[in-house]
Amino acid sequence: MPDFALSPVEGLSLAAKILSYAFALAAVGTLAFIDAFRGFLLDPEVATLKRHLTVLVAVALLASLAGLFATVALLNGLGLAGGFDAELWSLVAGTAAGDAVWVRLLGLAVLLPGLVFARLRLPAAVLGGLAVAASFGFVGHVQDDQHSFLLHALLMLHLLAIAFWIGSLWPLWRLAAAPDRERVAAVMERFGRLGVYFVACLLAAGIVLTWLLLDGFLPLFTTSYGLMLLAKLALVGGLLLLAALNKWRLVPVLAAADAGAGVRLRLSITAEICLVAAILSVTALLTSAFSLA
């Protein structure tokens, strides 16, 4: 079992990885949400989502650079102060870890024209999303495995499905409180229909990734990595149960104009957001402690 006692630099590296996952993927998903649901959204809601997306991109950018800073500091061995070593920065910038950050920042930059030009929303979400998703496979076991190309493609599919899901949660949470329940129910129903395809991609890619990375499913029960992965899968199972509750129970009640349906739906989405945060935290811990991505 790996030692999970973290130094300040390791703690910064882990926090930066969690924030990079969460905010970069959420930025991609938010732009895709705006494009998919623009016909249902009021102009002030779109403006709010654009501001939200700008914040997501900014935090993802800073978190990615903070992760690179932590990598330099870890190599330097002098604690946080070692992150300011200019010579090491130039070296790390040219490694796979540096490439991952530059590709991620490029992907985030590609999202920005979609904020201004409606016609560019979908191309920006697709191209930016591909770059962001690809960046997370530049280092770790996916890159080094003999099935590297297939693993990288599956990881990108897995992450793009996650991006749309988590990028939609905050917009849906806000919409759940809107007074015009018929419009809100229409958005939720459409999201539920789209969600079936994204969940299928997420699960299919995740199952094949697990099989290839662990060379079967037995190591899920016999290794430390496998046991932590099982804990992550349990959290994913809880997330899927909440999504099913929303789709089959809460949204129909909302459509029927139940007075308390919006509040209950908001609480359920809040729980989803908490579970997503836990899942991304476990993912970051797994990739940090076991060097598997």
pLDDT tens digits, one per residue of 114-155: 999 999 999 999 999 999 999 988 765 555 555 677 888 888
Helix, strand, coil tally for the chain in percent (to 5): 85, 0, 15
pLDDT tens digits, one per residue of 153-170: 888 999 999 999 999 999
- For residue 180, name the pLDDT band (cuts at 50, 70, 90): confident
242 and 275 Cβ atoms separated by less than 8 Å:
yes
In terms of Cα–Cα distance, which of 93, 77, 76 is closest to 85?
76
Token pair listed for 195: 């969600």
Helices (H), 77-180: 86-92, 96-111, 113-116, 121-135, 141-144, 148-175
pLDDT tens digits, one per residue of 27-36: 999 999 999 9
Average pLDDT over residues 44-66: 96
**What are the φ and ψ backbone dihedral angles of 87, each rounded to 5 degrees?**
-65, -45
Average pLDDT over residues 253-257: 74
pLDDT, mean over the chain: 88
d(CA 73, CA 12): 10
